[in-house]
Amino acid sequence: MEIDIYVPSDLEKKTDGVNNRRSEKRIQEILIDIFKKVLEIEKVSISDSFYDLGGHSFKLMMLINYIEKKFGVRLKIQEAMQAKTIENFSLIISKANNFKKFKEIPPAIPLE
């Protein structure tokens, strides 16, 4: 019996890390625009707290809706309340997007 095990090369690992950072950076850029729109402000950094910038429950619901429209990720209210910063929101969205890459495999059809 032969077992085929795929081990990614160091180059593939490095490239994948770069792609993940680029993806997360892009998510953060989009979130910055969403924060500015929802909070009606001009400047925001990835470490600023949503609540310190004037966020409240109604604006949080707006933020959740914008995130769902833009990224296709529906955040739970509790999850969004705890995230607070663009940095944390981007991690949640990135993880959700990575999870969506794995699709359910349909059951095998027996051959007759």
Q: What is the Cα–Cα distance from 99 to 40, expressed in whole angstroms?
A: 32
- With respect to residue 5, please indicate whether it lies within any of the assigned structural domains: no
DSSP-assigned states of every residue in 34-49: HHHHHHT-S---TTS-
> How far out from the chain centre does Cα 103 lie?
17
- With respect to residue 75, please indicate whether it lies within any of the assigned structural domains: yes
Q: The domain spanning residue 82 has which CATH number? A: 1.10.1200.10
Structural domain range at position 74: 22-96
CA angle 11, 16, 21 (to 5 degrees): 130
Span 99-108, pLDDT tens digits: 655 555 677 7
- With respect to residue 82, please indicate whether it lies within any of the assigned structural domains: yes
pLDDT at 41: 98
98 has pLDDT over 80: no
Span 48-66, pLDDT tens digits: 999 999 999 999 999 999 9
Confidence category of residue 97, pLDDT binned at 50, 70, 90:
confident
Domain count, the chain: 1
- With respect to residue 45, please indicate whether it lies within any of the assigned structural domains: yes
Q: What is the Cα–Cα distance from 52 to 45, expressed in whole angstroms?
A: 12
| 15 or 45, higher pLDDT | 45
| Sign of the C-alpha dihedral computed for residues 3, 9, 12 and 13 taken in this order | positive
